[in-house]
Structure 1
Amino acid sequence: MAHRTQLQLLTSRRFLPFFLTQFLGAFNDNVYKNALIVMIAFRLMESEANALINVAAGLFILPFFLFSASAGQLADKYDKSRLIRLIKLGEICIGALGVTALYSGSNIFCLAVLFLLGVQSAFFGPVKYAILPQHLKRSELVGGNALVEMGTFVGILTGTIVGGLLAGLTGQGENGLFYLSLVIMGAATLGYLSSRRIPMAPAPAPNLRVNPNPLTQTKSILAKTAKTPSIFYAIIGISWFWLMGAAYLTQIPSFTKNVLGGDESVVTLLLCIFTIGIALGSLLCERLSNGHIELGLVPLGAAGLTITGIALSAAGGNFVELQQAGLEAFLNRDGAFAILTCLVLIGICGGLYIVPLYAMMQDRSAAEIRAQIISINNILNALFMVVSALLGLFFLNVLEVTIPQFFLVIALMNAAVAIFVFTRVPEFAMRLLIWMLSHTMYRVKHEGLEQIPAQGPALIACNHVSYVDALLLAGAVRRPIRFIMYKPIYEIPVLHFIFRTGRAIPICSRLQDPKGYEMAFSAIEQGLKNGDLLCIFPEGQLTKDGELQPFKAGIEKILERTPVPVIPMALRGLWGSFFSHNGGQALTTWPQRFWSKVSVVAGCPIEATDAKAQTLHEQVLDLRGEQR
Structure 2
Amino acid sequence: MIQNVTHLLKTRRFVPLFVTQFLGAFNDNLFRTAMVLLVIYGIYRSAAQEAAFSALAGGLFILPFFLLSALSGQLADAYDKARIARAVKTAEILIMIFGAAGLYYQNIPSLLVALTAMGIHSTFFGPIKYAILPQHLERDEVLGGTGLVEAGTYIAILGGTILGGLLVVQDADGTYHAEYAALCVLLVALAGRVAGQFIPAAPPSTEDSGTVNDPDLPKAELDWHVVRASINLVKATMHVPRLFVAIMAISFFWAIGAVLAAQFPPLVKNVFGGDQSVATLFLAIFSIGVAVGSVIINRLLKGEVSARFAPMSALLMGACVIALYVLSLGWTPYPELVGMKVFLEEPAGWPVVLALFGVATFGGMFVVPLYAFLTTTVPKSETARTVAANNIVNAGAMVGATVLLFVMVQAGVSVEQTLLLVAAGTLVSAWLGKKLHRACLEAGCP
Q: Is 1:283 aligned to residue 295 of structure 2?
A: yes
Residues 36, 11 of structure 1: alpha-carbon distance in 2 compared, 3 angstrom cutoff: same
Partners in 2 of 1:316 and 1:397 — Cα distance? 20
Change (3 A) 1:413 1:90: closer
CA distance in 2, matches of 1:245, 1:219: 24
Q: Partner amino acid for 1:254?
A: P
Q: Which structure shows the bigger proportion of residues in strand conformation?
A: 1
**C-alpha displacement of 1:395:** 4.4
Distance 1:347 1:199 in 2: 33
Q: Deviations over 1:531-582 (max 9, x none)?
A: x99xxxxxxxxxxxxxxxxxxxxxxxxxxxxxxxxxxxxxxxxxxxxxxxxx
Q: Which residue of 1 aligns with 2:16?
A: 17
Q: Match of 1:368?
A: 381
Inter-partner Cα distance in structure 2 for 1:286 and 1:198? 25
What is the correspondence of 1:302-313 to structure 2 with a 5 Å cutoff? 302-313=314-325
Q: Kindly tell me: are residues 38 and 274 of structure 1, through their superposed partners in 2, closer, same or farther at Cα, counting changes over 3 Å?
A: closer
Structure 1 residue 232 corresponds to structure 2 residue 244: yes
Q: Does 1:343 align with 2:356?
A: yes
Counterpart position of 1:245: 257
Equivalent in 226, 232, 244 of residue 220 of structure 1? 232
Partner of 1:262: helix, strand, or coil? coil
The code of the aligned residue for 1:285 comes to I
The structure-2 alpha-carbon separation of the partners of 1:335 and 1:108, relative to structure 1 and needing over 3 Å to count, comes to closer
Is residue 2:95 matched to residue 1:117?
Answer: no
CA distance in 1: counterparts of 2:195 and 2:250, whole angstroms:
28
Equivalent position of 2:96 in the other structure: 95
Quick check: 220-229 or 305-314, which moved more? 305-314
Distance 1:237 1:171, change over 3 A: farther
* Post-superposition offset of 1:321: 4.2
Q: Distance in 1 between matches of 2:4 and 2:365?
A: 18
SS of match in other structure, 1:426: helix
Partner in structure 1 of residue 185 of structure 2: 184
| Separation of aligned partners in 1, 2:43 and 2:282 | 27
Among residues 311, 326, 346, which one is paired with 1:333 in the alignment? 346
Kept after mapping to 1: 8 A contact 2:22/2:153: yes
- Secondary structure of the corresponding residue to residue 189 of structure 1: helix
Say if 1:216 and 1:250 are closer, same or farther in 2 by CA, change over 3 A: same
Cα pair 1:166 1:177 within 8 Å, conserved: yes
Paired residue type of 1:91: E
Q: Is 1:158 the equivalent of 2:159?
A: yes
Deviation at 1:373, TM superposition (A): 1.5
Q: What value does the CA root-mean-square deviation take over the aligned residues? A: 3.2
Following superposition, the deviation at residue 357 of structure 1 comes to: 0.1
Partner of 2:72: 71
User: Which amino acid in the other structure matches residue 6 of structure 2?
Assistant: L
How far the C-alpha of 1:43 sits from its partner, in A, is: 4.5
Which segments of 5 or more consecutive residues in structure 1 lack a partner in the other structure? Answer: 431-500, 504-531, 534-628
Do the aligned partners of 2:36 and 2:54 also contact (CA within 8 Å) in 1?
Answer: yes
1:6·1:286 contact (CA, 8 Å) conserved in 2?
no
* CA shift for structure 1 position 352: 1.1
The answer to whether the Cα contact below 8 Å between 2:51 and 2:263 also exists between their aligned partners in 1 is no
| Residue 296 (structure 1) aligned with residue 295 (structure 2) | no
Using the aligned pairs only, state the percent identity: 36
Q: Residues of 1 paired with 2:412 and 2:57: CA distance?
A: 25
Which residue does 2:215 correspond to in 1? none
- Structure 1 residue 105 displacement after superposition: 5.9
Query: How far apart, CA to CA, are the structure 1 residues paired with 2:361 and 2:31?
Result: 28
Q: Distance in 2 between matches of 1:295 and 1:289?
A: 9
Is this contact kept in 1: 2:245–2:432, CA < 8 A?
A: no
CA–CA separation in structure 1 for the residues paired with 2:232 and 2:119: 24
Distance 1:111 1:258 in 2: 23
1:196 & 1:328 partners in 2: Cα distance?
A: 43
- 1:85 matched to 2:86? The reply is yes
Alpha-carbon distance, 1:374 to partner:
1.0
| Distance (whole Å) between structure 2 residues aligned to residue 104 and residue 321 of structure 1 | 32
Deviation (angstroms), 1:128 = 1.3
Is the contact made by 1:130 and 1:374 (CA closer than 8 Å) also made in structure 2?
yes
Residue 377, structure 1, aligned to residue 390, structure 2:
yes
Counterparts of residues 46-57 of structure 1 (less than 5 Å)? 55-57=56-58
CA contact (8 A) 1:75 1:83 kept: yes
Structure number with greater Rg is 1
Q: Larger helix proportion, structure 1 or 2? A: 2
Amino acid corresponding to residue 11 of structure 1 in structure 2: K
| Map of 1:8 onto structure 2 | 7
Provide the rounded CA distance (Å) in 1 between the counterparts of 2:54 and 2:340.
27
Alignment check: 8 A CA contact 2:67 2:230 kept: no
The offset of 1:144, in angstroms, is 1.5
TM superposition score normalised by structure 1:
0.62
How far residue 103 of structure 1 moved from its aligned partner, in angstroms, is 5.2
User: What SS class does the counterpart of residue 131 from structure 1 fall into?
Assistant: helix
The normalised TM-score by structure 2 is 0.86
Determine if contact 2:162/2:280 at 8 Å carries over to the other structure: yes
Partner residue in 2 for 1:435: none
Distance (Å, rounded) in 1 between the aligned partners of 2:342 and 2:45: 31
Secondary structure (helix, strand or coil) at the match of 1:87 reads helix
Tell me what 2:139 maps to. Answer: 138
How far residue 114 of structure 1 moved from its aligned partner, in angstroms, is 3.0
Maintained 8 Å contact 1:169/1:177? no
Whichever residue aligns with residue 72 of structure 2, its letter is A
Structure 1 231/251 Cα, relative in aligned 2: closer, same or farther at 3 Å? same
| Equivalent residues of 2:286, 2:356 under 8 A apart | yes
Name the CA distance, whole Å, in 1 between partners of 2:400 and 2:91.
Answer: 30
C-alpha distance in structure 2 between counterparts of 1:395 and 1:158, whole Å: 32
The alpha-carbon distance between structure 1 residues 199 and 170, as it changes in their structure 2 partners (threshold 3 A), is farther
Q: Counterparts of 1:266 and 1:103 in 2: how far apart (Å)?
A: 23
Match of 1:316 in 2: 328
Cα deviation, 1:314-355, whole Å, max 9, x if unaligned, reads: 333344545773433332332333222222122111111011
What is the CA deviation profile of residues 561-606 of structure 1, one whole-angstrom value per residue up to 9, with x for unaligned ones?
xxxxxxxxxxxxxxxxxxxxxxxxxxxxxxxxxxxxxxxxxxxxxx
- Is the 8 Å Cα contact of residues 238 and 244 (structure 2) preserved in structure 1? yes
> What is the letter of the counterpart of residue 183 of structure 2?
L
The answer on whether the counterparts of 1:38 and 1:167 sit within 8 Å (CA) in structure 2 is: yes
Q: Which has the higher contact order (CA 8 A, sep 6+)?
A: 2
Q: Does the Cα contact within 8 Å between 1:146 and 1:282 map onto a contact in 2?
A: yes
* 1:271 alignment partner in structure 2: 283
Q: What is the Cα deviation at residue 170 of structure 1?
A: 9.3
Q: Is the 8 A contact 1:21 1:192 kept in 2?
A: yes
Change (3 A) 1:171 1:135: farther
Query: 2:209 corresponds to which residue?
Result: none
CA contact (8 A) 1:322 1:329 kept: no
Measured at CA, do residues 30 and 295 of structure 1 come closer, stay the same or move farther in structure 2, by a change above 3 Å?
same
Equivalent AA in structure 1 for residue 280 of structure 2: T
Residue in structure 1 matched with residue 212 of structure 2 by the alignment: none
The 1-side partners of 2:382 and 2:172 are apart by 48
Q: Which consecutive unaligned segments of at least 5 residues does structure 2 have?
A: 207-217
